[in-house]
Structure 1
Amino acid sequence: MLIRIVRMTFREEETEAFLAIFRNSRDKIQSFAGCRHVELLQDLHQPNVFSTYSLWDSEEHLNAYRQSELFQSVWKETKALFAAKPQAWSHRHLIVD
């Protein structure tokens, strides 16, 4: 299982536009092959900073999504609203005994 976190900073006046994009695309993303879950987090002190938290079966599934028309269209709309360059991290669960 792969955990993907993407932190995005939006121009303050564009946060509602981003929320509309997320509302319209969340179910489509979650329905993509290999995607188990997608949720949106908002920074506690910076309301124009959001992170997506998604769970993927594998890195290959995430990469297939990132090459898809769905990603290309959603990302094109989303990145037009940025105030800063996004940051992304991929993680895996680690069980420490």
Structure 2
Amino acid sequence: MFVRIVKMSLHSKYIADFQEMFDEKKAVIRNSEGCKLLELYQDKNNPELFFTYSYWENESDLENYRNSEFFKQTWQQTKGYFNDKPEAWSVDKRVSIQ
């Protein structure tokens, strides 16, 4: 399992639109083949800064999702909200203590 982290900086005027869109689409993302967890975070000090964390069984599951029409349409819509270039990382989880 690995984690995909995406950092997105949004224009403040689009924050509500982004959150509404995410609420509408989160179940489809989470129920994509191989997706085990989906989380959305908003920075406490900069409300324009958001992060998604998604946990995937394997890289091919993420790639299949990223190549889907659903993702392409969703990402196209999301890009219209950005005020800076997004950043993304794929990381292996090494330790988790709860």
Map residues 1-40 of structure 1 onto 2, 5 A cutoff.
1-40=1-40
Q: Verify: 1:54 aligned to 2:69, yes or no.
A: no
Query: In 2, distance between residues paired with 1:64 and 1:9?
Result: 25
What are the superposed Cα offsets for residues 44-77 of structure 1, whole Å, 9 maximum, x if unpaired? 1100110001000011100110000110111011
Q: Which residue of 1 aligns with 2:81?
A: 81
What are the superposed Cα offsets for residues 2-42 of structure 1, whole Å, 9 maximum, x if unpaired? 10000000001100010011001100001110001111000
- Number of residue pairs aligned between Structure 1 and Structure 2: 95
Give the TM-score taking structure 1 as reference length: 0.95
Give the TM-score taking structure 2 as reference length: 0.94
* Structure 1 spans left out of the alignment, 5+ residues: none
Q: What's the C-alpha RMSD, in Å, of the aligned pairs?
A: 0.8
The aligned amino acid for 2:4 is: R
Query: In 1, distance between residues paired with 2:17 and 2:83?
Result: 13
Residue 44 of structure 2: SS of its match in structure 1? coil
**Identity across the alignment (%):** 38
* Structure 2 spans left out of the alignment, 5+ residues: none
- Displacement of 1:94 in angstroms is 2.0
